[in-house]
Amino acid sequence: MHLPKALVLAVLLPFALYSTYVVYTVGYVAIFTSHFNPVGMQVLIDLVIACSLVMVWMWRDAAATGRRVWPYVAITLTLGSIGPLLYLLLAPQRQAGTTRVMA
């Protein structure tokens, strides 16, 4: 997946700042315990599924490109979307005109 780094940064920075504010305001554990109702639990389960799928993609992409994936998986498990956003932001630039097809 190739996204402009400016776009990734434009999503990552405000989200990371807002996440920091939320953790500072309510605490890390409260982010999860606030979802202990049917609606919140559905959202939490959906996010776990989405982040799991993204981690599988990162794992495969890292294997294909020779990158280390463990730091980004650890960040995803603790901070959610910040891990994949960092993975995309710190991806090496690909040569213009080269494409990689994922099977």
**Residue 96 banded pLDDT, cuts 50, 70, 90:** low
Confidence at residue 100, expressed as pLDDT on a 0 to 100 scale:
55
What mean pLDDT, rounded, does the chain reach?
89
Residues 39-63, mean pLDDT to the nearest whole number: 95
pLDDT, average across residues 54-79 = 97
CB neighbour list of residue 102: distance below 8 Å, 6 or more residues apart:
60, 61, 64
When pLDDT is averaged across residues 52-60 and rounded to a whole number, the result is 98
**Rg of the chain over CA atoms, in angstroms?**
16
pTM of the model: 0.81
